[in-house]
Chain A
Amino acid sequence: MEFLSYFGEVFTPISMLLLIGGTVGGLILGATPGLSPTMAVALLIPFTFHLQPVHGLILLGAAYTSTVAGGAVSAILLKIPGAPANIATTLDGHAMAVRGQGARALQLAFLSSLVGGVFGVLLLIFLTPLLAQWALAFGPSHLFWLAILGVTVIGSLDSDSVVKGLLSGSIGMWLATIGYDDMQGVQRFIFHDALGGGVNIIAALIGLFAIPQVLTMFAKGWQDYGVESIEVQRHPLSAAVHEVFSRTRALTIGTLSGSIIGLIPGVGGQIAGLVAYDQAKKFSPEKDKFGTGHSEGVIAAESANNAMVGPSLVPLLTLSIPGSPTAAVLLGGLLIHGIFPGTDLFDNHPEVAWPFINSMLIGQILMCAFGIYIASFAARIAQVPQSIMAAAVLGLAVFGSYSVQQSMGDVYVMMALGTMMYFLERFGYSAAPLVLGLILGPIAESNFIQGSLIATAGNGQFQYFFSGALNLLLIAVVVVSIGYSAMMEIRNRRVAA
């Protein structure tokens, strides 16, 4: 309970000012397409040069927490996920916004983020040493199987059929191979200079989600000049609170899977939301409603991606290994003040470490409060005429993809992928499985190469990839997941026939 005695440091005027500023700023940055949590934190680091260590970290912690949640705003209202963490939020959240329920979707998103986020930080506070061991348990073979498990999820995610889902996933995996490969020292599919660095995940996200939408809006405006008027429904907060807590299954699945996956170095943040969404769907009696604007989808995805924030810092704070790009940036923020994370961080620098973690706890509450406050205004975006909306989203998409690494190449990639997706969508393919392929492909590939190099030096491939409790457990889950998808596909065909 040592952490309680450091709450005083969080409630000093300057700390609160930074906390509120970091939270509000983080929400806005997170809501801007292209400004991922990693970049938001990186942009703030130079400001912390001039602050005391504890204040600097409070600012960074608040920004990290709130950018992840802020990504839900553009995911829901514009169908542009701010970061990979918010992909799953678009699936049901945007469908709700289109129906005029943007305010409800945002309220649900922020409330589930609060629940997930607080749970994640509490895990960080109470179980850190235990969790650190768990984070280390995942070696190359386990990460490989975990990525394969993700691949099996692709088929059932937001598509007409398993086959179309898997095809989209394959396209994503192929896109991920583009660029210089520093694992094997080769160049793959570099047809143009812009592809040298590979397909940037954020630029791809923006293109795949935003551009088909923009094109659809332009096409609609062409046919029918009349402004579609959507009645934006107000939504009482108490109803949202009641709804979040009555959807216990989605909330629990989201929070737990987010916390567990968030812990795994190198994988966590990007897929936590998608995996939670998929699990919530499989366990729900109302499977068919997912993807049509079902509240369980938003609750599972958003509780998961904020639950991941706390545990994702465990490898950083205890082992000094940043488990995610954002954690790597935070490490820089710690080092600049001469604070070396490690097992003895809480003994050597409790006056910095605890207020940092506590501020993330308070930050969750502030984030939720401000998020809900803006929800009712933000939802009015649905009333903006389609033609203006299309132009605005296009502008944001170009700005967002350019700003990731100040490169016009990324803008071209974004436009090309988006145009391709527009046509693919007409044939019943969808963006989410494609993006998942783009994320999982490199994880599976690099871990397979590492694993097989280690295996060659050791007892052979089979022994390395197929023995040990964790490998076998993951393989079993993979088999169950494939079996489940196959069963559902057969059942659907029977119903259709």
Chain B
Amino acid sequence: MRKLIIGLAAVVLGMAGVAMAGNYPDRPIMLMVSYGAGGATDFQARIVTMTAGNEDALGMPIAIINKPGAGGRVGWNWFAKDAEADGYTLGAYNIPHFIAQSIKGGVQYDRDSFEPIANWGADPAVFIVGKNSPFNSMADVVAYAKENPGKLTFSGAGLFVGHHIAALQIEKAAGVKMQYVPTKGGGAAAMKAVIAGDVMGGVNNLSDAYRAREAGNVKILGVADVKRNEEFLPNVPTMVEQGLDVDDSSVNFRGIMVPKGTPPEVIGRLAATVPEMFKNKRVAGKMSAGGSPMHIMTRDEVLQMWKEREEYLGQLLQGL
């Protein structure tokens, strides 16, 4: 009798195991975005997951749930603490935001709370000035800042976000002190400050800056990335090309993750399928139309990137 029970239990468990790996996913999946509906992260998340229901992708649709607030902290706190680790609750990450916030403290997550699946996009920060600004290169900016310490005002979207990281890196690399003016309400408010001449310059998203330049409102002086953006800004040099040692630490990487404790076979299935799903032609078309640069990375690449960011940001933000 006992053998029978054990045997039955083994069979049931075995079937459950098979069902877990074999049938996953057998119901629609939720993707938590920790920014509001209509924001850049939300907007891109909706595009890159629109083909999830296809048979060659996950075969099940992905629904977006927004949990905005406090620069993403509300959503990521929820994801680390309350989200079920069953593979049906995915989350969108923004690097360097969540890592910088965890270093700064006061949140309930860090790099170890999450398991990356794949990266879909990378939006570098760029340095912009108004269309009538006397500055035409980063050298002009640095020269002015050297002559007038603390006098050069430049905007960015808040503290401990990509824009702020880029600002700190530029100041450090040039050895100058400038006046960073954080704005509330995301990159749009920071962009308005530059166009209206409230500030002398600003750090902003490549995609938004590209549009503002097309509209004739700003000049883009440098890209805070390891290489030029060939798709949108082939003529704008990187910071390094202009003698400023600024890497890609401020680039806003966006991708999908799951909570720690999600079964390995589910992570395996997602890690194999999701990057392929991002490569869909329709996805690429919509992303490109919106001026959103794509950058697909696999789980292993993302793991490495998170690790490097945490080490570097720990040093940069030390004592701030």
Chain A positions within 8 Å of B, measured between CB atoms, are 38-39, 41-43, 45-46, 49, 136-140, 179-180, 182-185, 187, 193, 196-198, 200, 265-266, 315, 319-322, 325, 328-329, 332, 335-338, 340-344, 405-407, 442, 446, 450, 453-454, 456-458
16 inter-chain pairs at a CB distance below 8 angstroms, sorted by A residue, are A38-B38, A140-B193, A183-B158, A196-B77, A197-B70, A198-B70, A266-B185, A266-B192, A320-B211, A328-B38, A332-B38, A336-B289, A340-B214, A342-B211, A453-B181, A454-B181
**Are the C-beta atoms of B77 and A140 separated by less than 8 Å?**
no
**Are the C-beta atoms of B153 and A185 separated by less than 8 Å?**
no
Question: Of B153, B160, B215, B291, which contacts A319 at CB under 8 A?
Answer: B215
Q: Does B172 contact A (CB under 8 A)?
A: no
Question: Of B38, B65, B74, which contacts A45 at CB under 8 A?
Answer: B38
Digitize B214-256: 1 where CB-to-A-CB distance is under 8 Å, 0 elsewhere.
Answer: 1111000000000000000000000000000000000000000
Q: Which of B15-54 contact A (CB under 8 A)?
A: 36-40, 42-43, 46-47, 50
Question: Of A329, A343, A450, which contacts B37 at CB under 8 A?
Answer: A329
Question: Of A193, A338, A343, which contacts B289 at CB under 8 A?
Answer: A338
Residues of A near B181 (CB, < 8 A) are: 450, 453-454
Residues of B near A43 (CB, < 8 A) are: 37
**Are the C-beta atoms of B69 and A198 separated by less than 8 Å?**
yes
Digitize B287-311: 1 where CB-to-A-CB distance is under 8 Å, 0 elsewhere.
Answer: 0011100000000000000000000
**Are the C-beta atoms of B38 and A335 separated by less than 8 Å?**
no
Residues of B near A42 (CB, < 8 A) are: 36-38, 42
Q: Does B188 contact A (CB under 8 A)?
A: yes
- 6 nearest CB pairs, A to B: A197-B69, A342-B215, A329-B38, A42-B37, A338-B289, A182-B158
Most buried by A among B65, B184, B211, B217: B184
**Are the C-beta atoms of A136 and B184 separated by less than 8 Å?**
no
Of chain B, the residue at the smallest CB distance from A410 is: B69
**Are the C-beta atoms of B184 and A336 separated by less than 8 Å?**
no
Q: Does B150 contact A (CB under 8 A)?
A: yes
Question: Of A338, A340, A407, A453, which contacts B67 at CB under 8 A?
Answer: A407
Q: Whole-angstrom distance between the alpha carbons of A45 and B217 in the complex?
A: 27
Residues of A near B193 (CB, < 8 A) are: 139-140, 450
**Are the C-beta atoms of B188 and A328 separated by less than 8 Å?**
yes
Chain A: minimal CB distance from B91 (Å): 13
Residues of A near B158 (CB, < 8 A) are: 182-183
**Are the C-beta atoms of B289 and A446 separated by less than 8 Å?**
no
**Are the C-beta atoms of B70 and A196 separated by less than 8 Å?**
yes
Q: Does B159 contact A (CB under 8 A)?
A: yes
**Are the C-beta atoms of A182 and B159 separated by less than 8 Å?**
yes
Known: A197-B74, A319-B215, A343-B216. A185 touches B179 (CB 8 A): no
**Are the C-beta atoms of A454 and B37 separated by less than 8 Å?**
no
Q: Does B118 contact A (CB under 8 A)?
A: no
Residues of B near A193 (CB, < 8 A) are: 77
- Name 5 extra pairs, CB < 8 A, besides A319-B195, A319-B217: A46-B50, A140-B198, A266-B192, A450-B193, A456-B179
Of chain B, the residue at the smallest CB distance from A445 is: B184
Question: Of B37, B153, B192, B290, which contacts A457 at CB under 8 A?
Answer: B153
**Are the C-beta atoms of B67 and A405 separated by less than 8 Å?**
yes
Of chain B, the residue at the smallest CB distance from A329 is: B38
Q: Does B111 contact A (CB under 8 A)?
A: no
Most buried by B among A41, A45, A450: A450
Known: A336-B286, A454-B199. A406 touches B67 (CB 8 A): yes
Known: A41-B38, A45-B46, A197-B69. A453 touches B188 (CB 8 A): no
Q: Whole-angstrom distance between the alpha carbons of A73 and B198 in the complex?
A: 40
Known: A197-B74, A266-B185. A336 touches B47 (CB 8 A): yes
Residues of B near A450 (CB, < 8 A) are: 181-183, 193, 198
Most buried by A among B36, B42, B67, B208: B36
Chain A: minimal CB distance from B96 (Å): 14
**Are the C-beta atoms of A196 and B73 separated by less than 8 Å?**
yes
Q: Whole-angstrom distance between the alpha carbons of A179 and B72 in the complex?
A: 12
Chain B: minimal CB distance from A64 (Å): 12
